[in-house]
Amino acid sequence: MRRMLAIAWKESIEIMRDSRTLTLAIILPVIMILLFGYAINMDVDHIPVGIADLDHSRESREFQQKLFSPGWLQKKTEHTNLEFLEKEMQRGNIKMIIVLPPGFAVSLKRADTAQVFAGIDGSDNMSGSMSMAYFQTFLALYEMRRMELLYGIDRDRAPGFESLPRIFFNPELESRYFVLPGIIVLTLAVLSALLTSISIAREWERGSMEQLIATPVRPWEILYGKLLPYIGISMIQLTLTIILGVFLFGVPLRGSLLNLFLVSLLFSVGALGLGLLFSSVIKVQIIAMQVSMIATLLPSVFLSGFIFPIESMTPIIQAFTYIVPAKYYLVMVRTIFLKGSGFAAFWAEAVFLFVFSMIVLNAATHKIVKRVA
Amino acid sequence: MFRQTVHSLVVKELKQTMRDKRMRFIIFVSPIFQMLLFGFALDNEVKHLPTTVYDLDNTSASREFIRILSEGGYFKTTAKQSGANDAATELLMNRAKVVVIIPGNFKQKIDSGMNSPVQLLLDGSDSNAALTATNYIRQMGQKLMTNKPPASIELRTFTYYNPDMKPKFYLVPGVFIMVLTVITTLLTAISIIKEREQGTFEQLVVSPIHGYELMAGKMIPFLIIGTIDVVLISLVAVFGFGLPFHAPLLPFILINFIYVAAMLGVGLFISTVSKTQQQAILSTFMFLFPAIILSGFMFPIASMPEPIQWLTYINPLRYGIEAERDMLLKGSGFAELWIHLVALFVTTIGLIGFGAFRFRKMLVQ
Amino acid sequence: MSLVAQNLSRHFKKAQAVKNVSLSLQPGEIYALIGPDGAGKTTTLRMLAGVLSPDSGIVEMDGSLLLKDESLRSRLGYMPQAYGLYADLTVTENLYFYGRLQGMKNAELRERSRELLSFVRLDKFPDRRAGALSGGMYKKLAIACAIVHRPQTLILDEPTNGVDPVSRRELWQLLFELSHHGVSIIISTPYMDEAERAHRVGVMMDGTLLAEGTPKVLLSALDGLLLKTEKISAAVLRDILLDHASVYPVGTGVHILSGSETDARKAIKILENKKVASRFQKPGFEDVFMYFSGGGDAGRFRSQP
């Protein structure tokens, strides 16, 4: 125990004296939160659209006006030549092409079926599919209003079924609520592993490991001694990000702060342990860091369920996500922040994370060989 | 003289990098592995949403409703006959993301030609899923409506470049750029820092080598490695994911080459502002993470606030991803992508120029 | 007997680094392991320190196996060749760190570090970062860290390498004082002249211990076998003497080492015929090494600083 504390004490001094790294480690999460709190908006807005109004009627202009006035779709170009519009799309200047064919107004007036053509850029799904969904909704409403005007149909009386959606926890579907917890998780996941990934490799490269081996210090004492100060840094990072998220961006923290810190503690032990594991297996700083970067950055972005739903992944890939600790942590952070529920809601995740951390720490302890075999 | 010095530096660097088994793994195996993993993983269509259905009616009509609900693979339903009072708990306890409550008089109302409301509780903490679920169920509603009034407007749709709207097609080019970026920036930044930490840098500095030769000697090997990675990744994209390769060859090669050079510039820049490997890796992260998020890959740029949008104009990843997508899927060439080409070129020149400036200062010290 | 090693062998990949080495240390003894680079000195010391496990053979301390009994490590001080002090920690902090790893308490350490710093003459710089120390000061701090817990056995791998002559002499003074207090010390060195200061010397070459003994005994083995000439190149001498003796350059001249006294006289005659002056020479440890290695590879020695 005293030896472990000695290691922790030494490690802390080293961290504090390397002020650049310490500053970066603390400033980085703050910058991330600030940047993404402002930048990320999942709602599709201002999608540039090219329109070909071949009808040139009062109705078609009115249709256009109604379509573009909410600002979701934005008229970028108007041209009667479809080929011109297609070129524009290829250049990436517009994401959607809408064609109002000749006779649009006439068909509407005659209560015939008027045709509308819409093409989207399939290479950019984000704007593509969402603008199409928006256009469909617009058409349905447009039609409904016309129906009411023409026939006086009262929609509520229409037979069939109707869904009454109620959205819990985030009724306005504020993307900020959804994104900020994710950013907290990503930042902690990557930074933790990066910070510790060098710490054992550095002892090998410096030659001090040889010296440590000759002392009575046990592998677990080295490992946990190194873990302690970094847990401190993680907690500082977490505190800063929570403060910014709650007070600056108004993300509600509905659950218990204590729970948030508890699960974060659990998570940072696992994430830091992962870095230590890489470090003790690889023994060379440069490679250990590259491996941690590769093993944490993209997986935390892609496989954590942050943006891309895990449920949609193929079973093999889903199985792979079990070793991405950010996945568990994300569920817990979102739950605590937005739902306010306690451990009953995420005990499974907590257990997974605990098991993950234990396995990682154990493996790392075993990999800190006390003797060069 | 120039050629000989640079040649020997390049050979030294390549040997040094390639001799290490782990480095070979990082350079050649990990991009392929990552491409495969993320390429197969990514599918932003929301599917298999865990859904609890409270069927308080338990009639043929309500069961039919549940059957249709489970059909498309969008909802993974668990039916319950009672306990609807605790419906919200299902969301609270993370047991479901969607809760559907079918009221007790569902069949009776439908049979008597009345509107029968179905209650839908959605987990807004995952707003993506909530939004998609609402849309699905609304579409289902239209399907179920028995006597729809005749449509007065018929919508004909078409999807350019990706007629089946396969998510892989637009996601893979993004993954392409990301994997390439992480590898190339890291390699360059770390290799220079490492040399400086080990003190071999001073040895190079005292030798009669010019600063620009030294830089060329550092960058050419990684340009070669990066280009090899481009080829590997493209092969995985085309043969592993069946991506159409509409790209005209010359622009494809040139743009990728310039992109790799730009990333080397980033690496060079980072190495000149960092003293230790740890600082270098943190700085790399500080560049990569925002660059990924602001690339338009996951979050639409058009929706970002204006100042942030300006920021994306100096983000090489944005140009890289757009160019990659346009070339692969649309078959765009120089005519369409000259802006990207110029932007990447300017970024490269700027970064390498600034890197060179700092590099020289570093040498003089 | 404080430290006993029996039949140590160790290989790395295909190379056999150490073959069947046995040696032992008496309390208060300074034992010097000499030999050229790559002789297996470091590998031997690492096995003695319990940092490397031997393929075969055992290391015992006070009758217990070193690799079995973790508590023995606190009776052992080890300073590896590339000693890693923490550059960001101060002189005192480095001492405290290693002391704490050995289970020492703060009160005890406060006194011990004051005592040690004056012992290694670093008492003027207790708060200087280790990274800012000069080479000699760094080595002295390293030794201080290795002995902070008062080990009874001290293993030092090339402690004088890269240290200026003044600091080297100081380092040896420290070793003598320690041995005076009963600490047994084993050091390795590529500098032959240092061997004379040790109580006992082991000559290592290609992983084997060729000879062992007090400096006097080892040197006396060469009595009457060694000649010295000046102003002639070793290559020319080799041509003249052919197979009669081994010839190698040392310092300002060339040494001629004969297999026996009769051979030596034969060599003198041949040289006289060629009008080359030669005289008997008092042997040094470089000659001792040449003798025991059978005229081995002198070029592998590092020149004396």
Q: What's the complex ipTM?
A: 0.74
Contacts of A154 in chain B (CB under 8 A): none
Instruction: Kindly give, in sequence order, each residue whose CB lies less than 8 Å from that of residue B251, ignoring residues fewer than 6 positions away.
Output: B327, B332, B333, B334, B337, B341
- Ranking A100-114, A351-365, B28-42, B142-156 by mean pLDDT, the lowest is B142-156
Residues B133 and B188 in one domain: no
Has residue A116 been placed in a domain?
yes
Has residue A318 been placed in a domain?
yes
B153-160 β-sheet, strand order: A73-78, A47-53, A96-100, A114-121, B153-160
Subunit contact B326:A90, Cβ cutoff 8 A: yes
Q: How many structural domains compose chain B?
A: 2
Pairing between β-strand C226-229 and β-strand C208-213 as defined by DSSP bridges: unpaired
Q: What is the mean pLDDT of residues C37-43?
A: 87
Contact with chain C for residue A10, Cβ under 8 A? yes
How far is the first Cα of chain B from the last one, in angstroms, to the nearest whole number?
25
Residue with tokens 């396969």: B166
How far is the first Cα of chain C from the last one, in angstroms, to the nearest whole number?
34
Has residue B358 been placed in a domain?
yes
Would the pLDDT of B142 be above 70? no
For residue A351, the model assigns a pLDDT of: 93
* Residue A330, token pair as written in the block: 């994300």
Distance CA C190, CA A102 (A): 97
CB B299 within 8 A of CB A182: no
pLDDT greater at residue A136 or residue C152: C152
Contact with chain A for residue C106, Cβ under 8 A? no
Residues A36 and A51 in one domain: no
- Write the CATH number for B82: 3.40.1710.10
Residues B244 and B112 in one domain: no
pLDDT band of residue C301 (cuts 50, 70, 90) is: very low
Q: Which chains are within 8 Å of A by 3+ CB pairs?
A: B, C
For residue A234, the model assigns a pLDDT of: 93
Which residues 248-287 of C are in CB contact (within 8 Å) with A?
none
For residue C192, the model assigns a pLDDT of: 77
For residue A230, the model assigns a pLDDT of: 93
Residues B144 and B56 in one domain: yes
Has residue B230 been placed in a domain?
yes
Has residue B241 been placed in a domain?
yes
Question: For B161, which of A123, A289, A314 is closest by C-beta distance?
Answer: A123
Subunit contact C53:A372, Cβ cutoff 8 A: yes
For residue B207, the model assigns a pLDDT of: 67
Has residue A202 been placed in a domain?
yes
Best mutation target among C101, C104, C145, C154 (most A Cβ atoms within 10 Å) is C101
Residues A123 and A86 in one domain: yes
Residues B342 and B198 in one domain: yes
Are 3 or more Cβ–Cβ pairs between B and C shorter than 8 Å? no
Has residue A82 been placed in a domain?
yes
pLDDT greater at residue B151 or residue B222: B222
- Which parts of chain A sit beneath pLDDT 50? 156-160, 373
Subunit contact A173:B124, Cβ cutoff 8 A: yes
Residues A29 and A136 in one domain: no
Residues A147 and A220 in one domain: no
For residue C300, the model assigns a pLDDT of: 46
What digits encode the pLDDT tens for the residues B185-220? 888 877 777 777 776 666 666 666 777 777 788 888
- Ranking A361-365, C120-124, C246-250 by mean pLDDT, the lowest is C246-250
Residues B132 and B223 in one domain: no
Could you give the C-alpha distances from C250 to A104, B166, C285, in angstroms and in order?
A: 107, 80, 11
Q: What are phi and psi of B349, to 5 degrees?
A: -60, -45
Residue with tokens 């319990």: C50
For residue A159, the model assigns a pLDDT of: 44
Residues A59 and A146 in one domain: yes
Q: How many structural domains compose chain A?
A: 2
pLDDT greater at residue C111 or residue B143: C111
pLDDT greater at residue C10 or residue A1: C10
Residues B235 and B219 in one domain: yes
How many CA atoms does the CB half-sphere of B149 hold within 13 Å? 20
Residues A79 and A113 in one domain: yes
How many CA atoms does the CB half-sphere of C65 hold within 13 Å? 6
Contacts of A171 in chain B (CB under 8 A): 124
Would the pLDDT of B362 be above 70? no
Has residue A164 been placed in a domain?
no
Would the pLDDT of B259 be above 90? yes
Subunit contact B145:A160, Cβ cutoff 8 A: yes
- Write the CATH number for A81: 3.40.1710.10
Mean pLDDT over all residues of chain B? 80
Best mutation target among C100, C113, C145, C186 (most A Cβ atoms within 10 Å) is C100
Has residue B110 been placed in a domain?
yes
* Residue A242, token pair as written in the block: 């929570």
Q: Where does chain C have alpha helices with state H?
A: 41-48, 91-101, 106-119, 135-147, 165-180, 192-195, 215-220, 234-241, 261-273, 285-292
Q: What are phi and psi of B76, to 5 degrees?
A: -100, 100
Q: What is the mean pLDDT of residues B278-305?
A: 81
Q: Of B160, B185, B214, which residue constitutes the final position of a domain?
A: B160
Helix axes B2-19, B211-235, angle to 10 degrees: 50
Residues A178 and A66 in one domain: no
Has residue A340 been placed in a domain?
yes
Residues B236 and B208 in one domain: yes
Mean pLDDT is highest, among A208-222, B41-55, B252-266, for B252-266
Q: Of A157, A192, A219, which residue constitutes the final position of a domain?
A: A157
What residues does C209 pair with on adjacent strands? C204
Counting every residue written for chain A, the total comes to 373
List, as own/partner pairs, every contact residues C241-249 make where C-beta atoms lie below 8 angstroms and the sequence separation is at least 24, other chains included. C241/C267, C241/C270, C241/C271, C244/C270, C246/C290, C246/C295, C248/C290, C248/C295, C248/C298, C249/C298
Distance CA A26, CA A32 (A): 11
Q: Which chains are within 8 Å of C by 3+ CB pairs?
A: A
Contacts of A136 in chain B (CB under 8 A): 155
**Is the pTM above the cut of 0.80?**
no
What digits encode the pLDDT tens for the residues B227-252? 999 999 999 988 888 888 888 889 89
Residues B111 and B235 in one domain: no
pLDDT band of residue C294 (cuts 50, 70, 90) is: low
Residues B210 and B322 in one domain: yes
For residue B34, the model assigns a pLDDT of: 83
Residue-range definition of the domain harbouring residue B219? 166-364
Residue-range definition of the domain harbouring residue A262? 2-40+174-372
Subunit contact A122:B170, Cβ cutoff 8 A: yes
Subunit contact B182:A298, Cβ cutoff 8 A: yes
Has residue B304 been placed in a domain?
yes
Residues A93 and A229 in one domain: no
Has residue B32 been placed in a domain?
no
Has residue B31 been placed in a domain?
no
Best mutation target among C13, C18, C43, C51 (most A Cβ atoms within 10 Å) is C51
Q: Of B160, B180, B209, which residue constitutes the final position of a domain?
A: B160
pLDDT band of residue C302 (cuts 50, 70, 90) is: very low
For residue C295, the model assigns a pLDDT of: 58
CB B263 within 8 A of CB B316: yes
Residues B117 and B239 in one domain: no
Has residue B235 been placed in a domain?
yes
For residue B129, the model assigns a pLDDT of: 75
Contacts of B165 in chain A (CB under 8 A): 122, 125, 128-129
For residue B143, the model assigns a pLDDT of: 59
Residues B102 and B190 in one domain: no
Residues A265 and A326 in one domain: yes
Residues A204 and A326 in one domain: yes
Has residue A347 been placed in a domain?
yes
Distance CA B280, CA B186 (A): 9
Q: What are phi and psi of C20, to 5 degrees?
A: 50, 50
What digits encode the pLDDT tens for the residues C187-210? 998 787 788 889 999 988 888 888
Distance CA B178, CA B172 (A): 10
Residues A245 and A262 in one domain: yes
pLDDT greater at residue C225 or residue B220: B220
Q: Of B135, B160, B185, which residue constitutes the final position of a domain?
A: B160
Has residue A334 been placed in a domain?
yes
Residues A322 and A214 in one domain: yes
Using DSSP's 3-state secondary structure scheme, residue C186 falls into strand
Residues B149 and B208 in one domain: no
Q: What is the mean pLDDT of residues B154-162?
A: 73
